[in-house]
Amino acid sequence: MRIAVLGGGRSSEHDVSIASAASVADAIDPSLHEVIRVTIARDGAWTSDGHPVALVPAGGDLARLVRLDGGESADVDLVFPVLHGPWGEDGTVQGLCETVGVPYVGADVAASATGMDKALFHVLATAAGIPRVETVVILHAQWQADPAAVRDEVANTCGYPAFAKPARLGSSFGISPVPTADDLDAALELAFAHDDKALVERRALGREVEVGLLGNAEPHASPLGEILHDADWYDHDAKYEPGGMRLAVPADVPPAVQERARELAVAAWNAIGCSGLARVDFFLEGDQLYVSEINTIPGFTDTSVWGRLMAGDGFAYPDLVQQLIELATDRHAAKAAYRG
């Protein structure tokens, strides 16, 4: 197969995505597939090998990567988006692939969109009976129109300490702890610098644990891993600075908590209708698990948490990449059976 690996992207998570995409491209078996690396610049321009390109339909299940400078175009059998955050993990690039008709790795349009949007995920998870910390969703317009009402709602629903965050971002951008009511305005202003929708959540006081998932209809759930760090919270530096965090796999928790976490991870997967891969993050307070979020394109280098969680079950990184390619092909074929 000829596979286009997409990296970069317009979101704040551009650099993280460049690293993830390079790892994926390097891990694709060259005896099985030909890789075309496509970089999406921060301004949205697509290039491959420095040449401007665009992805267009070529009929059937093929996409064509057209050289916009007149060079030779290439037909592509599969797209592997390794993009984090808005315009990549949120259903938009997935929608492009659907429009073009080409198979692509990972969650489909609706699952990507609802996985990316923490407010929509909160609604779906709650409807599915998945435990979540107390949460208030706030639109920027609402905050501007009546901040006093928002302050009251936060105080009554979440209380303090809390956390404020933009609805659709990742890598801890725009997120801050809100120790007291006096800190709410600044925290919301920061969140609203990134998105017109924000969440305030009760601050969970406890541990952070994560489960990796791989599959389509019946995903395989990895052992539970625990994120260990010395920071006050799992901020950008703790995530990405060398030595900023340690991952303990399996997490040192009772077997019942392990089992419950894997069940809840699959429940979160089903709540958004996920496919391919995901990482589900939890807060653990005592023995009580709360699902924090689902990431449909989690950090994806061979040393990222998702890869290491799956490695805990004996999956080597290149095998994971090959499995994702096969899952994408399977999902595409399964969908084609429905006429639409």
Binding site for Mg ion (CB under 5 A): 281
Q: What tokens does 62 get?
A: 């093929």
Under the binding rule (CB under 6 A), the answer on residue 203 touching ligand ADP is yes
Interaction with ligand ADP in 265-304: which residues (CB under 6 A)?
A: 281, 283, 292-293
Smallest gap from residue 299 Cβ to ligand ADP (A): 10
DSSP class per residue in 147-194:
HHHHHHHHHHHT-SSEEEEESS--TTTT-EEE-SGGGHHHHHHHHHTT
Among 106, 170, 215, 299, binds ligand ADP (CB under 6 A): 170
Under the binding rule (CB under 6 A), the answer on residue 157 touching ligand ADP is no
Cβ-closest position to ligand ADP: 234
89 binds, among Mg ion, ligand ADP, none (CB under 5 to 8 A by kind): none
Which of the stretches 90-98, 187-195, 196-204, 328-336 binds ligand ADP when contact is defined by CB under 6 A? 196-204
220 Cβ contact partners less than 8 Å away, ≥ 6 residues apart: 213, 214, 313
Q: Which of 195, 189, 184, 187 has its CA nearest to residue 148?
A: 184
Q: Which of 155, 133, 154 has its CA nearest to residue 282?
A: 133
Residue 124's alpha-carbon distances to 96, 257, 272, 336, in angstroms, are 25, 22, 7, 27
Smallest gap from residue 169 Cβ to ligand ADP (A): 6
Task: Give the nearer residue to ligand ADP in terms of CB position, either 17 or 171.
Answer: 171
Task: Give the nearer residue to ligand ADP in terms of CB position, either 79 or 169.
Answer: 169
Write the binding mask 104 to 133 for ligand ADP: x where contact by CB under 6 A, - elsewhere. -----------------------------x
Q: Which of 303, 249, 262, 294 has its CA nearest to residue 275?
A: 294
220-221 and 2-8 as β-strands: parallel, antiparallel, unpaired? unpaired
From CA 214, how far away is CA 217, in angstroms rounded? 10
Q: Which of 138, 145, 146, 126 has its CA nearest to residue 164?
A: 138
Write the binding mask 46 to 85 for ligand ADP: x where contact by CB under 6 A, - elsewhere. ----------------------------------------
Count, in order, helices (H) and strands (E) of the chain.
11, 17
Q: What tokens does 109 get?
A: 């349009």
Which of the stretches 58-66, 143-151, 170-178, 245-253 binds ligand ADP when contact is defined by CB under 6 A? 170-178
Cβ-closest position to Mg ion: 281
Q: Classify 298 as helix, strand or coil.
A: coil
Which of the stretches 24-32, 122-130, 168-176, 218-226 binds ligand ADP when contact is defined by CB under 6 A? 168-176
Under the binding rule (CB under 6 A), the answer on residue 14 touching ligand ADP is no
Binding site for ligand ADP (CB under 6 A): 133, 163, 165, 170-172, 175, 201-204, 208, 233-234, 281, 283, 292-293
